[in-house]
Amino acid sequence: MRNISPGELSAWLQDPARPAPLLLDVREPWEFRTCHIAGARPVPMNEVPRRLAELDPESDVVAICHHGTRSMHVAHFLARQGFERVYNLAGGMDAWARSVDTAMPVY
């Protein structure tokens, strides 16, 4: 597991030569409705263990939350489950909205 900055993730998502990662948004449904990165899959943190079979351990996974704490816990959990290409969005959606998509609401 490693951290990825909003700028690094933005560059990755814009790079047509690089397959897009799974954007695993682990926030609560109301948070996801407030704002999210296009293409993100909402799976609230407390549902991740029972929905683990829905995720591909061979894929790149970027865990996302509001400030990066919940997603860091999920990223560590996934790494312990054998996921080798797991990233945590450092600063979460708050950092993304402030540095990448400034039109996105912050809460």
Query: Catalytic site residues?
Result: 65
Q: How far apart are CA 31 and CA 18, in angstroms?
A: 28
Q: How far apart are CA 67 and CA 85, in angstroms?
A: 21
Backbone angles phi, psi at 13, to 5 degrees: -65, -25
